[in-house]
Chains A and B, each alone.
Chain A
Amino acid sequence: MAEDRIAVYFCHCGSNIAGKVDVDKVVAWAAEQPNVAIAREYKYMCSDPGQDLIKEDIQQHGINRVVVAACSPTMHEPTFRKAAAAAGLNPYLLQMANVREHCSWVTVDKGEATEKAKRILNAQIHRLPFNEALDPIEVPVNPAVLVVGGGIAGIEAALKLAATGKKVYLVEKNPSIGGHMAMFDKTFPTLDCAACILTPKMSAAGKDPNIELMAYSEVVEVDGYVGNFKVKVKKKARFVNTDTCTGCAACLETCVVRKVPSEFDQGLGKRSAIYIPFPQAVPLRATIDAEKCLTLKGKKCKQPCVTSCGPGAIDFEQKDELVELEVGAIIMATGFELWDPGQDARYGYGRLDNVITSLEFERISNASGPTNGEIVCKNGEPPKSVAILHCIGSRDLNYQEHCSRVCCMYSLKFSHLIKEHLPDTEVYELYIDMRCFGKGYEEFYRRLMDEGVHMVRGRAAEVTDLAMSPEEEGRLIVKTEDTLLGIVRRIPADMVILSSGLAPAKDAKAVSQTFGFGCSGDGFFLERHPKLEPVSTITDGIFIAGCCQYPKDIPDTVAQAGAAAAGALALVDNPTVKVEPTISYIDPEKCAGCHICVGLCPHVAIRYNEELKVAEVITAACKGCGVCVAACGSNVPQQHGYLDNQIFAEIEGAMAF
């Protein structure tokens, strides 16, 4: 075997690393280490000239092992491994030494940072002689794509992919697709009717031959890997045969259980136990709410739904159904939840009548909503004064630190709608800052000021019904500091709208675990890189779009959905994909066949060979998690790229001085 000739490259990363680590000193030291043939520094190793340094040294100086001391391998290991491969070196003979995230960014003292950088680097110099050349494993790609969530993000992504001829499964947990956007009245700043722009897309998604719509369904299990996911979907029983139901709604009129709070109307309207959430629902099929239906609860009912149904579609015997799908890529578009303002007792939500959430106001102002679009208080009277309170549950360290990005604008939209319906009503917007950042948004803000809306700069402190003057009697009073006037104000209002922030779905964490990626500190799905890979996750082949990633408005959501569709297409449009060869293997000569690893493998990637009486790794299923390696009592399973001798050498290097 040829002698090891290691080249060391130390990246300044501008001042990110060089500002803390004495680069000259570390490089001079590295040049003296055993097996190191070349040690260089460069301002930005990831740039083309930086990568060229590696290529030239490999080709001209017989370099056969490389360590790049720079950022985290999750950032640029692929970049440098590609460069090495381009120069003819097996990419797995290149290691990263993370001297940025693990060193310069987290160390205060310069001397200590320099010493730590030497240790981190030394670990890799010691490891490299043990690295083996590995070849990526090429696996076939299933061209179908699963889209989870049927809001505007999921619909848009599904339509884009379907247009390329790919098979798309669109899974939605509710009886209809449409998501939150279907509940809105108008959209800011153009005031398009939300239904007018959304329903054509919903209907297109329902009709597209390439889209298999699975509404009232939930993903329960995900296995496999990039290009080859196996997904189990539970199709919840609707107790209505969707093939024969025509969506005529005759059953809705006859159902005897009529006072179920409508989820779609935010509980302000009522629906029957058999229901279609809204008239434009896709698929336009009835669903029986098993918790409300008398028959399904085992009580007596004359079942007028059955007698009124011409096609005989009611089926009380229907059961949940488990469907298995095979797809090459997955797009998560599972959306958000409105932050529950009942958590902050000061605003009286749930306690004081006429304190409502923004989503409730959307339904009240919507022509197809529970009040037919009449903006009225609980007593049916139009409000003479409305206060709109911004940043409820947003920008608040007690609850959610993040800005929800859409509330300023939808609040302005509300003001406009109130002024349009009720020109004599006074409207107050209580804001911290106005964040009107999108196209046409600042212009909309200016327009609203001209429409006579009172802009009060101050976060509302409290909503109370304790009147302290005759004009306050019988009304709600919003207390706030007006920070422009420098006074404390009491603003009487008949209706208070809480502009609630956007929160991660309650099951976001569980869902992210089912699919095998993570959430960021704010609870939303974590993207692979906040700027450059905003729609990818750390799991290859799984993409994210819309508000499951972070609060965003409709234009941004649609743009992101397109980007996620393009990302998925770039994967599934190839016949094969290369996956990391850093998977485990079991030497049949050494395996005692004790079965421990078989049961522990989370990916069902180890099977027991009855004939040889040993465990075997299924190469295509192994994800390289290392559980079997750690669990085996006889130390038999080994993982390529993480062999015992490699790890021990790394530890020795780190602890050498």
Chain B
Amino acid sequence: MRYLYYPGCSAEATGKAYDISTRALMGKLGVELVELDDWNCCGATSYFSVRELDSFAIAARNLAIAEKQGDEDLCVICNACYTTLAKTNRYMAESAEVREAVSGALGAVDRTYSGNKPVRHIMDVLVNDIGLEALGEKVTRRLTGLKVACYYGCQYSRPMGDFDDPEFPVTMDKFFQALGAEVITDFAGKAKCCGGMMMLTKEEGALRMCHELLKGAHDAGADVIVCACPLCEMNVEGYQPRVNKTFGTNFDMPVMYFTQLAGLAFGADPKQLAIDKQIVSCDRVVAAIPA
């Protein structure tokens, strides 16, 4: 199994652990990831809100490179990158105006793109290409007894719902159940927004959203929250002290990239998965997993 791999900007900075653990996990599963040559920002958040067409062009440059580089599907780990790239495909397919403008922009840098490169979320690849049964068989260290809150985030399956329900996704729940974990399937915040970039502009609002998520997971008895997006991960993990200060709470909730926790189940060691880079210590999570 071979995929083109788009790490995205965050994976080189705050989300480095996501990239490291993804490579380790996929290595354990025997999946080859070929990093996209000379990739650029996907065009997410700020671009999309202010200059949508520019963001399509930026995203399409990555897709154009991918199309030239290989026939494999493009595997993406960040929710925002995934949505932006997939959305670009959809808009190019459905709007002649967008298609022409984007083609014009690519033409200026001597590139072309047909609009047909499949963009796949890593979870889609795991659950639908490898399959839950095969995954279950490869587990070397089952996550028995671990209570996991799967936090999908707002852009995991919204708005398209290509591989899961947009409002109440379940693929990550099934994934961790296959790995032996006890998943909190009715985690009310699972597809809620974490506050996103609002943490920088209107912190009070974003903290309230993080508070709701943390409280939901905590009240349901979660041992750990797992994420599929670098921004979600940073907000929910890194802002816990400020949430505690603002709302008088006392959260000390381990938050991990889902690839980190899954990597443990497939036999990678914590260091290989950059688990030591987490802000809230995950030692007790690692310790809780039966050897």
Whether A and B are associated in the same complex: the answer reads: yes
List the interface of chain A (C-beta within 8 A of B): 344-346, 351-352, 464-468
B188 adjacent to A346 (CB under 8 Å): no
CA distance A587 to B212 in the complex (A): 81
Nearest CB on B from A191, distance (A) = 37
Q: DSSP class of A's interface residues: helix, strand, loop or mixed?
A: loop
Task: Enumerate B174-210 residues with CB–CB distance to A below 8 Å.
Answer: 186, 188-189
Task: Enumerate B138-197 residues with CB–CB distance to A below 8 Å.
Answer: 165, 167-168, 186, 188-189
List the interface of chain B (C-beta within 8 A of A): 165, 167-168, 186, 188-189, 211-212, 215-216, 219
A344 adjacent to B188 (CB under 8 Å): no
Contacts of A351 in B (CB 8 A): 186
Given A466-B212, A466-B216, A468-B215 in contact, is the A346-B186 Cβ separation under 8 Å? no
Contacts of B215 in A (CB 8 A): 466, 468
Summed over the interface, the residue pairs from A and B with CB atoms below 8 Å come to a total of 20
Contacts A345-B167, A346-B167 aside, 8 further interface pairs with beta carbons under 8 A come to A344-B167, A346-B168, A464-B188, A466-B188, A466-B189, A466-B212, A466-B219, A468-B211
Q: For residue A352, which residue of chain B has the nearest CB?
A: B186
Q: For residue B161, which residue of chain A has the nearest CB?
A: A398
Nearest CB on B from A220, distance (A) = 36
B216 adjacent to A345 (CB under 8 Å): no
A465 adjacent to B188 (CB under 8 Å): yes
CA distance A462 to B186 in the complex (A): 14
CA distance A351 to B188 in the complex (A): 11
Contacts of A346 in B (CB 8 A): 167-168
CA distance A464 to B192 in the complex (A): 12
Q: For residue A346, which residue of chain B has the nearest CB?
A: B167
Nearest CB on B from A388, distance (A) = 21
Which of B168, B212, B219 meets A345, CB within 8 Å? B168
- List the 8 closest pairs (A to B, CB-CB), nearest first: A345-B168, A466-B188, A466-B216, A464-B188, A345-B167, A346-B167, A351-B186, A345-B165
Contacts of A467 in B (CB 8 A): 219
Contacts of B188 in A (CB 8 A): 464-466
CA distance A345 to B190 in the complex (A): 12
Nearest CB on A from B211, distance (A) = 8
Nearest CB on A from B214, distance (A) = 11
Q: For residue B220, which residue of chain A has the nearest CB?
A: A466
CA distance A391 to B251 in the complex (A): 38
Nearest CB on A from B168, distance (A) = 3
**20 A-B pairs with C-beta separation under 8 A:** A344-B167, A345-B165, A345-B167, A345-B168, A346-B167, A346-B168, A351-B186, A352-B186, A464-B188, A465-B188, A466-B188, A466-B189, A466-B212, A466-B215, A466-B216, A466-B219, A467-B219, A468-B211, A468-B212, A468-B215
Nearest CB on B from A482, distance (A) = 18
Name, among B168, B188, B189, the residue most crowded by chain A CB atoms within 10 Å (CB to CB): B188
Contacts of A465 in B (CB 8 A): 188
Nearest CB on B from A492, distance (A) = 15
Contacts of B165 in A (CB 8 A): 345
